[in-house]
Amino acid sequence: MKRILLLFLIISSQLSTFATGTDEGMWLPLLLKKYNYEQMKKMGLKLTAEQLYDVNHSGLKDAVVSLGGFCTGELVSKDALMFTNHHCGYDAIASHSSKDNDLLSNGFWAMNRKQELQNPGLYADILVSMEEVTAKITAATADLKGEERGMAYATAVKEITAKAVEGTHYKASVVSMFRGNEYYLIVFERFTDVRLVGAPPSSIGKFGGDKDNWMWPRHTGDFSVFRIYAGKDNKPADYSSDNVPFAPRHVLPVSLKGIGENDFTIVTGYPATTNRYLTSFALQTSLEQTNPAIIDLLGKQLEVMKKYMDADDAVRIKLASDYASLANTWKYFLGQNEGLKKSAIIQEKKNIEKRFNKWLKQSKNDVVAGEYMNTLSNIDKAYKEYRKINVEAIYASQLQYSTTVGSLADELHPLADLLKEKTSDKKEIEKLCAELKESFKEVYKDAEMSIDQHMLTAMLSLYALKITPEKQLPVVLDIITKYAGGKAVLPFDEFTEKAFSKSILASEKKLNAFLNKPSYKKLMNDPLFSFFHKLEEQRDIYREGSVAFSNVLAKENKLLIKGLREMDTARNFYPDANSTLRLSFGKVSRYQPKDAVVYDYFTTMKGIMDKDDAKDVDFKVPEKLKQLYAKKDFGQYAVNGDIPVAFITDNDITGGNSGSPVINGNGELVGIAFDGNWEGMTSDLMYDAQLQRCINVDIRYVLFVIEKYAGAGHLINEMTIVK
């Protein structure tokens, strides 16, 4: 997961800001009454504004969960039964799987509370309140710059959050909105006892696999079921057999009435990241440099992983979650780049930039004009300079972080620094070594060193092929010089074979022995640590440019979005997604992806049977599901002799919305959001009402699988079913 996070950090640091459309938006709940409520009522909302968000009353916000900080879930019973996506629960399901008990392949259902499975490290956050604190942050940091401002900001945040949670068990954070133009205090509860209750087999929950990922029409039963537990006082508590199901303040009724075209829908959840307010310079760089590099690197990593996963079931299970995440990210950037090529999005951004400059020139306020006059030109200059090192920096970062040993070496750098200083406190060294041994247990548990060796070989070879020799780092050139022997062949397999056979990083036993008796000389002479240490040092040539680039963007992006809001005072702006609770509203809607092709707004089980392919693991339908379909044993979930499986809406979503509830105008659950569509892959950059769609699993298919396929009807008995 670290390799994916680092790639997103690289991308996010390159993106700039820009303006919005009219019907799009991932809106802050506390601003809905002010900006959106009347429009929502006209579209079909029957709830009051207070039921959407109110600090003093229960409502939708109390039924929506941030799951692990990476997905969304919704509470559907008074005993805190929670729905989310299968792919959101994938890591938890995989962690309980083995060759002899393969829950990924076979599915899992707890038939009573005692069978529900603990998931260490998984947490669920529920919002308590949101409050704007811009004035407090501004007052604390006014006229300060650099490190001094950073310290003042940190102090202000500490004071604000401490006061907000004083005398409670709550947690709090302050988040930046609109690139630092506004700040909001988020108060929440964090529950750390989250147990797996049920999950269909991957042949249902991941039906279609990577081939169908991001695609419509879709037939994936992408759901899993968890339960949140608390102490007997209903407050968060670490796992204990004495814990009881949490009693939520609000749960979502589950509707069997279904959906129709143009029906009003709400999707509320915790979207991770969008970059809607951006410049043409950012998009051009993504199209020409950043995205192609990422597609290339992730494609190679997937190729290496799949080779070993296909050959060994134990390896397949161990790497399943990482592979799925990596494949999802790879296809995301593939689709985004295709969208950037085909769409007019870059030209649209240029048009907005021209309009902004025209507004500045026509401004009668010299102070305003002067404040923003150089903003776009400064961003342009920053990108032109950064493009000189961008690709090299991305490839070099993946040399470090595409392997387990690279990450281990990174974690050992603080120890190397302590060992280098002869005056270092021996107890401090011993403490750090003990902490490292403990943290490395999980790393080695999930590691496959034979794959790691081949991954490093593949990444070195790709780096040498893609980066011209004059721009390659010395640490790579030294390997070529030492091992090539004048032959026109890349010798990285010989280097990695020798390095892994001798390195302490390639074995938990060897590394623990070293940590019991650490030595600076031994660490620096270790072939793998030495390679990654030199790589880290030599990557400094990119850091200076990266820091300068980031500093310019931080300043100019903040100014730009401030200027855009002054230019368009009649428009209601929403901040980019940043893993805070948001709400988007829209409608069930078909779409036309190309000439003479129109996609309907729903799919059924007939489509699953049509896709059935016993020779393709991604499309192999479970025998029991085929039997249920053949017998038409649909229970109360059928419509016109079939089971609805998925549907699409024009709600505005992104990553992090996975698992979000799709709610009708009455506040009832009708589906679970799980994906976006291929034609809308540029949606993180700009919303397109004609092409962007939110793909959702129909709640009737979810309940059908739970009751008829899994025989877990006791879970449905917990819910409030609306017919």
Task: Note the Cα 466 to chain centre separation in Å.
Answer: 28
- Under 8 Å CB-to-CB from 62, ≥6 apart: which residues? 75, 126, 127, 248, 249, 250
CB atoms within 10 A of CB 20: 17
Q: Structure tokens of 48?
A: 């009051």
Select from 104, 200, 89 the least CA-distant residue to 708.
200
Q: Which residue in 95, 363, 658, 683 is the catalytic one?
A: 658
Select from 454, 192, 448 the least CA-distant residue to 320.
448
Residue 451 vs residues 101, 294, 307, 321, 565: alpha-carbon distances, Å: 24, 20, 9, 16, 51
The residue count of the chain comes to 723
Residue 544 vs residues 392, 508, 540, 624: alpha-carbon distances, Å: 14, 35, 7, 59
CB of 411 within 8 A of CB of 436? yes
Q: Which residue in 86, 87, 219, 533 is the catalytic one?
A: 87
- 390-401 vs 449-466: helix crossing angle, rounded to 10: 170
CA distance 643 to 236: 38
- Under 8 Å CB-to-CB from 70, ≥6 apart: which residues? 88, 272, 656
Q: Which residue in 62, 125, 212, 222 is the catalytic one?
A: 222
86 is catalytic: no
Select from 601, 598, 574, 569 the least CA-distant residue to 585.
574
CA distance 695 to 672: 9
658 is catalytic: yes
Q: Structure tokens of 131?
A: 């409050």
321 is catalytic: no
C-alpha radius of gyration, the chain, whole number: 26
In DSSP terms, which residues pair with 493 in a beta bridge? none
CB of 126 within 8 A of CB of 188? yes
- Under 8 Å CB-to-CB from 280, ≥6 apart: which residues? 346, 347, 349, 350, 353
Per the listing, tokens 């008074």 go with: 78
Catalytic positions, written as ranges: 87, 222, 658
